[in-house]
Amino acid sequence: MTPAEAGLSAEEAARRLEVHGPNELPEEPRTPVWRRVLQQLRDPLILVLLVAAALTIATGDLSDAAVILLVITVNTVVGVVQEVRAEAAVMALSAMSAPAARVVRDGEERSVPAAEVVPGDLVLLAEGDIVPADGEVQAAALLLADESSLTGESVPVEKAPDGDAARGAVSAGTVIVRGHGGVLVTATGADSALGRIASLMGAAPGLTPLQHRLARFGRVLAVVIMALCALVLALGLVRGQPVELMIVAAISLAVAAVPESLPAVVTLALALGARRMADRHAIVRRLPAVETLGSVTVIATDKTGTLTEGRMAAERLWTPHGEATAVGTGYQPEGAVVRDGETVTPGDAPDLAALLRVALLCNDAALEPPSDNSTEWRALGDPTEAALLVAGARLGLDRSALDRELPRVEEIPFDSGRKRMTTVHRRPKGGLLVACKGAPESLLRPEVLADDPETVTRAATQAEQLARTGYRVLAVASADREPSAEPPRTWESELSLLGLVGILDPPRSASKTTIAACERAGIVPVLITGDHPLTARAVAERLGIASREEEVTTGERIREGTAGDLTGVRVYARTTPEQKLDIVQAWRGAGHVVAMTGDGVNDGPALRRADIGVAMGRRGTEVARQAADLVLADDNPATIVSAVEEGRRVYANVRRFLLYGLAGGTAEILVMLLGPFLGMPLPLLPAQILWINLLTHGLPGVALGAEPVAPETMRHPPRPPEESVLGAGLWPRILLMGAFLATVTLAAGIWARETGRPWQSMMFLVLGATQLGVALGSRARPGTLANPFLLVAVGAALGLQAAGVYLPPLQDLLGTEPLSAGDFAVACVLSGLGHVVMRLQARLRPERPPRRVAARARGR
């Protein structure tokens, strides 16, 4: 036994473990709870509320200060709890990439934790093993590795000790799908290919579009409120009002003008969205990510395992007598073979039966049925060979019966030089059957086939056409031999061509409808993969991402600088993790909000760099899950569309509340500014302003955050990322509605004063009631029982508003007087005007899709 074959000694392995550290990726440090709380409190609107709370405490208004602090506390707790719960859910999905490894130590085979593998170790690999570290292949027997999680390449790669750099090395995190071998470890942990990719994910996620918009809004709102309150204070002092009264009035107006329920509305809407997403098996890791999806203008998606099933399927069958298609799902050996629109059996199509019979015999794979640990059929061995087994089963062939009828007696294994595999089987009545399959260029040759040149030419043309459409093509041939016979070197000659099989990683059933829904919503879908350009183009065409005429940009062109504008195409092939970062950044630099979906290690950096990363939960790697904002626990891409809809619902509800809340605040400011000029020295007392604010911005305001999604939401393009939260005509609507509410309130006050009624109490009741009417008019689906919480909240608030006029304890607190039944009826009628005008405004000025983004989406 050589030193290499004996492996490291236990002492040397321990020493190297001390030097190189454990074979683990550096864990992302957990965010402590106190830091999460501070992140929640840094929101500009929360800061405005904290100032308002301090002012109310300074004036002795402890009840209103308590309400404001309660809103801040609830907002913070909900945000922190959601983040912690999401992190726990992702950890529950996570599993170590390779929990154990077989190594040779002191000349003996041992099983050690993967974390203890060190450079220089001799690791033994077999079918089904996850490679624990980077290494060089020392010995191999039919060794085949699935590297799709690292490279995006859907076809497994043969490994051999005498191969080139790609064939002679294995990488951590890849999976052995066939054969066995020994590997000398060259890099572990952060030094491995897995670690180098993970190191690209250092950038922390930035603010979401909604957070940017609300931050700008909070700063502007703070300045405007301070200016208006200073104006109210100055006007009161000029009119000779007591200084203390006007200071309290100005502070009360400031508190009333701040939509303190906005953080609660946003948090409730996001939390409801997160809960709905959880019901759809999507885990939201960061609460604002729900809204970010609603702002997405570009969805960049990986191919293998994301848009596709991540498994091979023998789909196209060709023989010299005709073509057929095998249909079914996954590796489940159920489905059908269809020719000319009809399902066929071996008896109906003897040419297809002969083709697939030989493909099943010349095959080393197996299919594993569902078990306790898996609900799906799995491939054991080469996925390409497993696909042939499935196609045979769908025609009605029985692999076990064939093996019993035609037992294998000899074989010539596949190797990359010959690019074919041959097996020899004993016939029941004597004689041998030679079964051969391989790449068309290795089989469609005169020294291999005995067929006429015309048949070979037809087959070569068909193979080229299948390859151009993204299929991996296998040719299948056979021959009968006498048992006496020829030496093995003659087995692969004088064969008869049976046909071709086109194999592809098929798109998921939900992928095409997902892409179509994105297109309808004005979102640009792009495909970024490490797979072959022809395969990438074929999948993109099938799913409607790109047409046949559109260009495919490759990683080589990006590296050479000849790719041009990276936002000018929709399909990118043969890309590296670094190039995926460049592509995502190019779209972001062009002003887009980018979502990235993926499942592999190679997708991790792009998932982190994108505005929102979406990872697959089942097939997805740990690196991808930790980099993502949203994890699809069921790997269903259709969930992304639901998430976009949820995000748009959140943003629409935020704007709905802002229209309602700021219109009320505007009305209160206008009443306080204009009232003195109409003979009302102090239109409303500070306590009355705060009471109205508490009732209208309290439960009814928060309830607006639970409004359902409006019809046609997913038929509008996303809003421009740079658009203000009050953009698209919301400011004029706020001012118009605020002016209407102020006019109605002042008119009621003037009428009451001129007729000898308690005018201040009348204004108090009307201003609160009309705002509540606006809340009812703001519903996304009026005339339905959707969001009953809003109906209950408005009813309760109206009751409390009336109680402020009629209950003696509240009369003393608020300085009100009781109104007659007739006056109360007038106030109720006026409150209905708020509802009517809000509905009219919604009809006359509906939410319109932004033209520039719509045009940009269509132009891609």
CATH label of the domain that carries residue 158: 2.70.150.10
243 occurs within a structural domain: no
* One domain, residues 500 and 513: no
Among 23, 338, 410, CA closest to 191: 23
Structure confidence at residue 859 (pLDDT): 40
* Strand-pair partners of 187: 134
Q: Token pair for residue 147? A: 């590297």
* One domain, residues 513 and 500: no
CB 294 within 8 A of CB 647: yes
217 occurs within a structural domain: no
Q: Tell me how far CA of residue 698 lies from CA of 47, 408, 815, in angstroms.
A: 19, 78, 21
For residues 91 and 94, give the distance between their C-alpha atoms in angstroms, rounded to a whole number. 5
CATH label of the domain that carries residue 616: 3.40.50.1000
214 occurs within a structural domain: no
- Residue 374: what are its φ and ψ, rounded to 5°? -150, 140
Structure confidence at residue 406 (pLDDT): 95
For residues 407 and 420, give the distance between their C-alpha atoms in angstroms, rounded to a whole number. 20
In terms of residue numbers, what domain contains 178? 3-26+95-189
Bridge-based pairing of strands 298-301 and 524-528 is: parallel
Residues in the chain: 860
* One domain, residues 444 and 476: yes
The reply to whether 146 belongs to the active site is no
Candidates 61, 129, 146, 302; catalytic one:
302
* One domain, residues 8 and 104: yes
3-state secondary structure of 357: helix
593 occurs within a structural domain: yes
3-state secondary structure of 103: strand
Burial (CB < 10 A; 0-12, 13-18, 19+), residue 381, is buried
* Strand-pair partners of 331: none
Among 820, 686, 697, 801, CA closest to 752: 820
CB 221 within 8 A of CB 254: no
* One domain, residues 696 and 604: no
Indicate yes or no: pTM above 0.85. Answer: no
3-state secondary structure of 757: coil
* One domain, residues 331 and 459: yes
Structure confidence at residue 95 (pLDDT): 40
* One domain, residues 99 and 139: yes
Structure confidence at residue 578 (pLDDT): 82
Q: Token pair for residue 575? A: 């890309």
CB 848 within 8 A of CB 787: no
> Which residue among 581, 610, 635 closes a domain?
635
Q: Which helix (H) or strand (E) holds 587?
A: helix 577-589
Structure confidence at residue 531 (pLDDT): 80
Structure confidence at residue 860 (pLDDT): 39
Among 162, 212, 168, CA closest to 186: 168
- Residue 661: what are its φ and ψ, rounded to 5°? -70, -45
Burial (CB < 10 A; 0-12, 13-18, 19+), residue 88, is exposed
* One domain, residues 444 and 407: yes
CB 668 within 8 A of CB 745: no
For residues 126 and 137, give the distance between their C-alpha atoms in angstroms, rounded to a whole number. 13
For residues 668 and 229, give the distance between their C-alpha atoms in angstroms, rounded to a whole number. 11
Q: Token pair for residue 791? A: 């109906």
Cα first-last separation, the chain: 63
Tell me which residues of the chain have a pLDDT lower than 50: 1, 86, 89-90, 92-98, 849-860
Structure confidence at residue 248 (pLDDT): 64
Q: Tell me how far CA of residue 296 lies from CA of 300, 570, 593, 648, 857, in angstroms.
A: 10, 16, 5, 10, 11
* One domain, residues 548 and 667: no
For residues 705 and 656, give the distance between their C-alpha atoms in angstroms, rounded to a whole number. 8
* Strand-pair partners of 598: 615
- Residue 783: what are its φ and ψ, rounded to 5°? 85, 5
CATH label of the domain that carries residue 790: 1.20.1110.10
CATH label of the domain that carries residue 469: 3.40.1110.10
Q: Token pair for residue 69? A: 């602090």
595 occurs within a structural domain: yes
* One domain, residues 494 and 513: no
40 occurs within a structural domain: no
CA torsion sign for 586, 284, 43, 661 is positive
For residues 455 and 462, give the distance between their C-alpha atoms in angstroms, rounded to a whole number. 11
For residues 830 and 834, give the distance between their C-alpha atoms in angstroms, rounded to a whole number. 7
CB 589 within 8 A of CB 606: no
427 occurs within a structural domain: yes
Among 709, 711, 652, 720, CA closest to 857: 720
> Which residue among 442, 470, 504 closes a domain?
504
Structure confidence at residue 854 (pLDDT): 36
User: For the chain, what is the domain count?
Assistant: 4
Within 10 angstroms of residue 454's Cβ, the number of other Cβ atoms is 9
* One domain, residues 374 and 389: yes
Q: Tell me how far CA of residue 502 lies from CA of 95, 157, 312, 334, 445, in angstroms.
A: 35, 18, 10, 18, 19
Identify residue 615 by its one-letter amino acid code.
A
> Which residue among 592, 617, 635 closes a domain?
635
CA torsion sign for 775, 781, 783, 785 is negative
* One domain, residues 722 and 786: yes
Q: What is the pLDDT of residues 733-765, one digit of tens each?
A: 888 999 999 999 999 999 998 888 899 999 999
70 occurs within a structural domain: no
